[in-house]
Structure formats: structure tokens, C-alpha cells
Structure 1
Amino acid sequence: MADDILVKQDGPILRITLNAPDRGNAVTDDMVIRLTKMINEAGKTADIVVLRGAGKDFCVGRAGMGARPSPEPTAYTRRNFSDVVFDAYGAMRNCPIPIIAVVQGGAHGFGCAIAAACDITIASDKASFSVPEMAHQIMPTMVMSSFVDRVPRKAMAYLVYSMFEVTPERALSYGIVSDVVPAAQLDSHVDKLTAAMLKAPRISLTSAKEYVRTGPDMSTAGAVEYARNLHAVINAAEEIRKPRG
């Protein structure tokens, strides 16, 4: 359905809302494909993306998780099916502008993965996070791939093997969440965050994301040199001196 993802251009902010609250915003493959396209194109019209779910949950996973197709696809075909999800994670990493996830409730499976993949994740103190894939006889490496540059090994192993729901405070300690706020203050906190970010020129937002994406994977010497070069180039750019209109 076209209305299972809502999109609103709010000035320099692109607001994307997963809109299937009756099923906890569990996503179909078609929804994931459309979400990926939206993220890939977001930088053309916006400086920030705010991603959230309608209703009480953020996203409880993929619709029909654990259902087995008949006949069973070959490994090659299954790999192509999986690319729908991997492409979504890649779009979030490669989007030139920062993506903020707003998690008010359950973030499980795919929902937990995209919460981790976003650049900033603000969680309500009522939120919960889990990776229940193995309980559904699903290998959890798709979700794990979204954690690999964000979540420490032991935290990743605990989430995957235990399949337990963890608190937002625990998710914060794992690197999935950026900040935890009281549920009643979630929206106002996100508004304050976006307002603060939009005081900076667009070129600062995009360059900071570029460094966050690439710097940690470099050697220390390489990361420092890249920071020096990026700092010099961006601070010399005309765009950084232009006030927002």
C-alpha cells in the first residue's frame, strides 16, 4: 500500500514514517525497497532525514518473518532476496545527509538493525530492542551486518544468542542508541536536536557524516591526515560561510 510509508518534506527535513501500526510497522519487502529509494534520494531535497514508526512501536521486524517459501529457493536466489535488506542498510550508511531514528517502542529484528544503522538514534525510555531471528529459524547475519561497525562483539553475541529484549539504556551502552529520553519528551527532544543541527551549514552536516562513515575504518595516521585535509577543504569552501536563509 502506498500509505504504509508516509513522507513529508518539512523544509530541510525529510520526515519518513513507517505507517503500519496495526502490525507494529513490520515491513514487507516492497516497503523496504521503497524506503531504500527514499533514503537514496533524500539528499536531493533535504539536509536531515527523520525516520520513525507510527503508533506504539518503531518497527518490530519483517512481515511474515520465518515463513518458508515453497519450493525452497537456491542459495543464489536467496542471496538476491536478501539484497533487499542489505541495500537498505547500505543506503543508510551511504546517504550523504544524517539520518535520525526516533524509537518510541519496539525495535526488533530489522527494526533494531535500522535503528543501529541510522546516524543518530533517540529512544524513549519505553523502547525495547532485540534480535529474535534465531527463534524463527533464521540466520541473523543480516541484522548483524548492520551492527558490525557500531556494536561491540560481546554485545552483538549477547543480543543474537539470547534473543532477549534489552532496555534502551542497555542499547545505549551497546552503541545502538545515541540518547534515551522520557517518553513524554521524545518529540520535543528530537525537535531541539534537528534545530541545533540546522544551525550548521549543509556542507558541515554532509562532511561530518562523511568522516564518521570513513574515519573509524582508517589507520590512526590515515584518519588524522584525512581529518586535516577535510578540515582545510571544508573551512575554505564558500558554502560554509553562507548563513541559512
Structure 2
Amino acid sequence: MSDPTILLAEQGGIARITLNRPDRLNSFTAAMHEELRAALDKVAGTARVIVLTGAGRGFCAGQDLNDRAVSPGEAVDLGETVEQSWNPLIRRLASLPQPVIARVNGVAAGAGANIALACDLVIAGRSAKFIQSFANLGLIPDSGGSWHLPRLVGQARALGLALTAEPLPADKAAEWGLIWKCVDDEALDGEVDALAARLAGLPPLGLAAIKQIVRTTGERTLDQELDLQRDEMRRLGFTEDYREGVAAFLEKRPATYHGR
């Protein structure tokens, strides 16, 4: 039997999902998409935080072109691959109630870069690079790339990254606001573990609401946003978690949250 292309470990409310094709820089096959869907299904109702990373020396090199081999002169429907595999993955990462942390431990290229950008928080090792490699093949930044890039770094930088396919070092990605943080490679695990543990100990209903409202704010006017804020504060203020948080603060003790 072949090795699993996705590794899953869950402990203390933290689910760690590892893309596991290190010999191919964790590039995706159709089977890998299926395994990742199954892993996300498994932890969707139990984990409080999800950490997504890659095995070996890279995060993800995007689509494995060998899995979608094209002979000279042969046409292939790339839209079908996007519709069946990549679009559902990006939508899933955005809609999960849990915070999703991308631990970028090396190159993140093509759709692999855009998987990272679809996560809620991206922490990268200093040696990592983000590459919008699509222009080299006559393609566009799929997997949410053309949507996330201009919103994160502005049109000028988005066009520069997409048109030139130049690698963007992790420290500059953090400076530009493309990712949350760049740390030394040897500090990456500790930084990600500490962040995941912190998030796992916070009220899950509140974190889910923050994720949803921030990700959808562009759909609303200021008046609509203010009304939604009122409604969400009312809803969250009636939760057991809010009452526990206030009680713990007043009693000067750690709070324990149950997502109720």
C-alpha cells in the first residue's frame, strides 16, 4: 500500500493536517484532494484549531502536473480540475468555523501559495517563499489567488507577483501584509504551537463569529455592518462562554470554554 498523502493528528483541540508527498513538494493529486476532504470532515466537529502544513522541505507546490499529464497538442479541461478540487478546498477553508493556521515551512507555489493565503493566519519560516507561478504556464492565479492577492497587498503588488512569477521571500511577505508573521526557521514550530494552543483555549463561538464577520465584511455597507455587530454581540452575550469569561476575569482565574 502507498503511504497516505495526508497525515492527521488531533490532540487538545488542535488538529494538525500535514500534506505528505515530500518527494513531490507536496503537490496535489486527485487522490490527495480526496484524502484532505476526508481529514477536514473528520475534524470539523471536534477540533478548535486546525494547523495545515507540509512534510519535508516545502509547504506545497500546487498541482502535480504529472497527475494531469498533457501530451503535446492535447487539450485538457483545467476548469474541471478547478471546479472539482481546488474551488471546494478554498471554500471549505474559508467557511470552517475553526481558525486555520498555515505553517509554511518552505516553498509555497502556485495553488500551494493560494492554499496558504486562504487560511486565516499564515506563519512562515524565514526560508519560505511564495510564488505565483501561473504566468509561466500561461494561466491565471486560481485557488482564490486573484481574489486574495489584491485584497492583501493591493493591486500594484498583486499584479507584480502574478505577472512576473517572482518568488516573494517570507520576510517581505510579512512586511507587505500578505501573511501574519515570518519567524526564524528554528522558531517556526514553537511559534505555531503557541498560537494554536492560545486559540484552542479561547471561546470557540466568538472565534467563529470573528472569522465569519471579517471574511464577509466587504459584502456590507457600514450601516449593515453596525447592525450585524449589534446582532452578533447580542447573540454572543447570551452564551455560557461569555458568562464564564466574565466570571473568570472577576475571580482572577483561568476560564474554561465549552462552545455553548
Q: TM-score, normalised by structure 1?
A: 0.89
Q: Quick check: 2:8–2:18 contact (8 Å CA) kept in 1?
A: yes
Structure 1, gaps ≥5 residues long: none
Q: Name which of 203, 218, 221 aligns with 1:219.
A: 221
- SS of residue paired to 1:161: helix
**1:195-234 map, 5 Å:** 195-234=197-236
Q: Deviations over 1:19-53 (max 9, x none)?
A: 11111111112212332343355331111100000
Q: Deviations over 1:63-88 (max 9, x none)?
A: 11784367524xxx543322111111
Provide the rounded CA distance (Å) in 2 between the counterparts of 1:40 and 1:153. 35
Provide the rounded CA distance (Å) in 1 between the counterparts of 2:42 and 2:175. 32
Amino acid of the structure 2 residue aligned with 1:59: C
Of 131-140 and 8-17, the range deviating more from structure 2: 131-140
- Equivalent residue number for residue 50 of structure 2: 49
Q: Deviations over 1:170-212 (max 9, x none)?
A: 2224443101111111111111112221231221221111112
Q: TM-score, normalised by structure 2?
A: 0.84
Cα gap change, 1:140 to 1:200, in 2 (>3 Å)? closer
CA RMSD of aligned residues (A): 2.2
Q: Name which of 68, 75, 94 aligns with 1:72.
A: 75
- SS of residue paired to 2:103: strand
**1:2-13 map, 5 Å:** 3-13=4-14
- SS of residue paired to 2:139: coil
Cα gap change, 1:174 to 1:68, in 2 (>3 Å)? farther
The alpha carbon displacement at 1:92 in A equals: 0.7
The alpha carbon displacement at 1:216 in A equals: 3.7
Aligned residues: 242
Q: Quick check: 1:6–1:16 contact (8 Å CA) kept in 2?
A: yes
- Equivalent residue number for residue 144 of structure 1: 146
Structure 1 residue 113 corresponds to structure 2 residue 114: yes
Provide the rounded CA distance (Å) in 2 between the counterparts of 1:95 and 1:37. 14
- In our comparison, the structure showing a higher alpha carbon Rg is 2
Structure 1 residue 192 corresponds to structure 2 residue 194: yes
- SS of residue paired to 1:68: coil
Q: Quick check: 2:27–2:61 contact (8 Å CA) kept in 1?
A: yes
- SS of residue paired to 1:44: coil
Structure 1's consecutive aligned runs of 4 or more residues displaced over 6 angstroms after TM superposition are none
Q: Percent identity?
A: 27
- Equivalent residue number for residue 154 of structure 1: 156
Q: Quick check: 2:14–2:200 contact (8 Å CA) kept in 1?
A: no
**1:17-32 map, 5 Å:** 17-32=18-33
Q: Quick check: 1:18–1:53 contact (8 Å CA) kept in 2?
A: yes
Cα gap change, 1:191 to 1:101, in 2 (>3 Å)? same
Of 125-134 and 232-241, the range deviating more from structure 2: 232-241
The alpha carbon displacement at 1:7 in A equals: 0.7
Q: Deviations over 1:120-167 (max 9, x none)?
A: 000111110111112123333443245465442222211110100011
Structure 2, gaps ≥5 residues long: 245-255
